[in-house]
Amino acid sequence: MLNYRHLYYFWMVAKEGGFARAADRLEMAVQTISAQVRDLEKALGHQLFKPSGRGVALTEAGAAAYARAEEIFELGQGIASEVREAGSAQVARLTVGLSDGISKLAAHALLEPVLATPRLRLVCHEGEFDELLSELALHQLDVVLAGQAAPRNPQQRLAGERIARSALQWYGPSSLVRKQARDAFPQSLQDLPVLLPTVHSPLRATLDLWFEDLGVRPRVVGEFEDSALLAVFAARGMGVFPVSRMGAQDVALVRGLRLLGDCPGIHEEVHAIWSRRGQHHPLVRQLLASAQQGGAA
């Protein structure tokens, strides 16, 4: 086991640039600090400091150790306030994982049922589906929102349900969305520059099949994991793009986009996935209850 007290003294010496300055800062004897750092060097098997003028400088090994120590003690400095907040029940914290396959423009609509919670602290992490499920299993997340259902893996002990199923629409800049293009939709997609979600999105496979059934070969000029980026690049004139009606609620925030047409028969699904411990989180239960009462369409 790494001795974190030794690591702390090493960190202070590196920050202060010398053993004497670190000893003054910590109000300890120089010999004590030096002995602690030597013990750390023995444990790690590498010299961490080298002489530099009147002080010391980090070796290559020391620089690597310092980078990690910096992360560790920055995190440690936040523990007291987080514990204090949790213990006083002043903050309602919800940590959500957003799979890179779902529409981020829909995230606000999906989380809206809990946004009015007093003293809410909402933390959103974006990542790949499998990575987020691992974090969920380790209780680093309270819930994951994804475009696919929870896998059947008894070792992970995860559960989930579909919380939204939203029809798809196409939007684009006014320079591209003209009457002729709207009247000829969806065949007009053959002649328009098209922006699509990447293959990471379950929606992409559905769209590819839809194009094939229509006999339309779109001119794809961009692929994005984030639907918000789709909207931004579309608004700058790059192309037209699909978005769920949930996400379309926030499309209005991006100026210059107009509705091209509805996409009948195509829907984006969103699933909430949680661990056994997460199912008792009051805000997770509130999200699921709201979805059962109505949900997005």
Domain match, 46 and 172 both: no
The whole model's pTM is what? 0.63
Beta bridge partners of 197: 224
Helix (H, G, I), strand (E, B) or coil at 271: strand
Compute the distance between CA of residue 195 and CA of residue 183 in angstroms, rounded to an integer: 20
With a CB cutoff of 8 Å and minimum separation 6, the contacts of 22 are: 9, 12, 13, 15, 16, 33
Question: What pLDDT is stored for residue 157 in this prediction?
Answer: 77
Question: What pLDDT is stored for residue 104 in this prediction?
Answer: 75
Instruction: Report helix, strand and coil shares of the chain as percent, to nearest 5.
Output: 45, 25, 25
Question: What pLDDT is stored for residue 155 in this prediction?
Answer: 61
Number of domains in the chain: 3
In the predicted model, residues of the chain with pLDDT beneath 70 are: 82, 85-90, 153-156, 252-253, 294-297
Domain match, 178 and 203 both: yes
> To the nearest whole number, what is the mean pLDDT of the chain?
87
Question: What pLDDT is stored for residue 262 in this prediction?
Answer: 92
Domain match, 34 and 57 both: yes
Domain match, 201 and 158 both: no
Domain match, 255 and 184 both: yes
For 191-202, the three-class secondary structure string (H helix, E strand, C coil) is CCEEEEECCCCH
Domain span at 230: 165-268
Q: Please answer whether residues 45 and 38 qualify as being in contact, where contact means their C-beta atoms are separated by less than 8 angstroms.
A: no
Question: What pLDDT is stored for residue 294 in this prediction?
Answer: 66
Domain match, 249 and 286 both: no
DSSP state of 176: T
Q: What is the CATH number of the domain that holds 238?
A: 3.40.190.10
Question: What pLDDT is stored for residue 86 in this prediction?
Answer: 63
pLDDT in tens, 29-88: 999 999 999 999 999 999 999 988 888 999 999 999 999 998 888 888 777 776 776 666
Domain match, 260 and 200 both: yes
Cβ burial, residue 222 (10 Å; 0-12/13-18/19+) = middle
pLDDT in tens, 247-272: 777 776 678 899 999 988 888 889 99
Q: Which of 88, 110, 144 is the last residue in one of the domains? A: 88
Question: What pLDDT is stored for residue 127 in this prediction?
Answer: 86
Compute the distance between CA of residue 98 and CA of residue 107 in angstroms, rounded to an integer: 8
Question: What pLDDT is stored for residue 225 in this prediction?
Answer: 83
